[in-house]
């Protein structure tokens, strides 16, 4: 079947469509393995998982080049993988090993991979938004052709830094794309209780920029809305605010029992599983079979298991490493 019948951007090839299916499994199985290790006490600190949100990260980053930048969030493993990070070095980072992306010093919430354009995850709600605007300002002042994508959650849109940064980006027409992954809850609070507007994307009107609402569980929808925003940013027309409506299957963090939402609600959202939906689309298009889909899943499962072995075999930092890579 002609790939254009799938209504994807022209730059997305059939091979890329299959690769994105693999990538979504990488994101999910990585997070599920991390969840298992935190429960066993094998990884320390805390973590925030994005199981169920795979389509937004993969769909947005599918349109980005290596030169393009992203800023991420505390729930950022998927963004890292989608922007080119490998599970082995990511797992090593979470294990606190020197082979990790930040030599084991960043952990779950602070992975960065500048070579691939990942300017870093951020443990502060809305913390990455001003950084993304700074990156976009750099591109404009130096006449560079990259765009910066800023991922954040629905809770971040009630922070002052969100409004300040979006306002600045809009008046200077900066090449930045604001991607709000609205997973319906900021910690234990429903977005409906925290925000009066029906759509977070409606807030774009206050800053004179486009606001787009997309199905965050539909990777093709995410690719199309991102493609439009990238073209606008590269042509000098300024930012776009994209709201990806999605849902996190797990709790806010490892200690969250999810008592603030019903199991019926969770089951309804699980029916919208972005990986299952995408698999069905690829099969209908003749690009995938059930057998091939299972081969992809099993191959990724082994890749994650190999990443664990790599992390466990990697060296621990020494006391001499304590004061390296710090500013003071």
State pLDDT tens for residues 219-233: 999 999 999 999 999
Domain boundaries, position 236: 3-314
Q: Which long-range contacts (CB under 8 A, 24 or more apart) does 35-43 make?
A: 35/250, 35/254, 37/94, 38/254, 39/254, 42/95, 43/94, 43/95, 43/108
What confidence score (pLDDT) does residue 328 get?
A: 67
Whether 280 is in a domain gets the answer: yes
Express each pLDDT in 29-77 by its tens digit.
999 999 999 988 888 888 999 999 999 999 999 999 999 999 999 999 9
Whether 169 is in a domain gets the answer: yes
Whether 322 is in a domain gets the answer: no
Whether 165 is in a domain gets the answer: yes
Whether 140 is in a domain gets the answer: yes
Average pLDDT, whole number, for the chain? Answer: 95
Predicted confidence (pLDDT) at residue 175 exceeds the cutoff of 70: yes
Report the range of poorest mean pLDDT among 82-86, 135-139, 187-191, 295-299: 187-191
Check which CATH number belongs to the domain holding 131 and give it: 3.40.50.970
What confidence score (pLDDT) does residue 326 get?
A: 79
What confidence score (pLDDT) does residue 132 get?
A: 98
Cα–Cα dist 47/280, whole Å: 31
Predicted confidence (pLDDT) at residue 4 exceeds the cutoff of 50: no
Query: Domain tally for the chain?
Result: 1
Whether 326 is in a domain gets the answer: no
């Amino acid at each position: 079947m002609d790939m254009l019948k799938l209504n994807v951007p022209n730059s997305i090839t059939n091979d890329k469509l299959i690769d994105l299916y693999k990538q979504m499994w990488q994101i999910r199985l990585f997070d599920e393995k991390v969840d298992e290790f935190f429960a066993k006490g094998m990884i320390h600190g805390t973590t925030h998982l994005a199981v169920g949100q795979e389509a937004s990260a993969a769909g947005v980053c599918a349109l980005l080049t290596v030169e393009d930048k992203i800023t991420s969030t505390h729930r950022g493993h998927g963004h890292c993988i989608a922007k080119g990070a490998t599970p082995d070095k990511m797992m090593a980072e979470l294990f606190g090993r020197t082979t990790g992306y930040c030599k084991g010093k960043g952990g779950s919430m602070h992975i960065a991979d500048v070579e691939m354009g990942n300017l870093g995850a951020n443990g502060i709600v809305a913390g990455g938004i001003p950084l993304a605007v700074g990156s976009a300002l750099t591109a404009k002042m130096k006449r560079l052709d990259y765009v910066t994508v800023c991922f954040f959650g629905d809770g971040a849109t009630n922070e002052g830094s969100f409004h300040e940064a979006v306002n600045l980006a809009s008046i200077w027409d900066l090449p930045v794309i604001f991607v709000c992954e609205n997973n319906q809850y900021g910690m234990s609070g429903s977005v409906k209780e925290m925000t009066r507007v029906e759509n977070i994307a409606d807030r774009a009107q206050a800053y004179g920029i486009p606001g787009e609402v997309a199905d965050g569980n539909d990777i093709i929808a995410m690719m199309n809305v991102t493609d439009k925003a990238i073209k606008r940013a590269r042509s000098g027309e300024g930012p776009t605010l994209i709201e990806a409506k999605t849902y996190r299957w797990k709790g806010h963090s490892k200690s969250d029992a999810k008592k603030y939402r019903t199991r019926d609600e969770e089951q309804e959202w699980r029916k919208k599983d972005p990986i299952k939906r995408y698999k069905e689309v690829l099969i209908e298009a003749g690009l995938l079979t059930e057998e091939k889909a299972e081969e992809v899943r099993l191959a990724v499962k082994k890749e994650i298991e190999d990443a664990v072995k790599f992390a466990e075999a990697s060296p621990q930092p020494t006391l001499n490493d304590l004061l390296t890579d710090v500013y003071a």
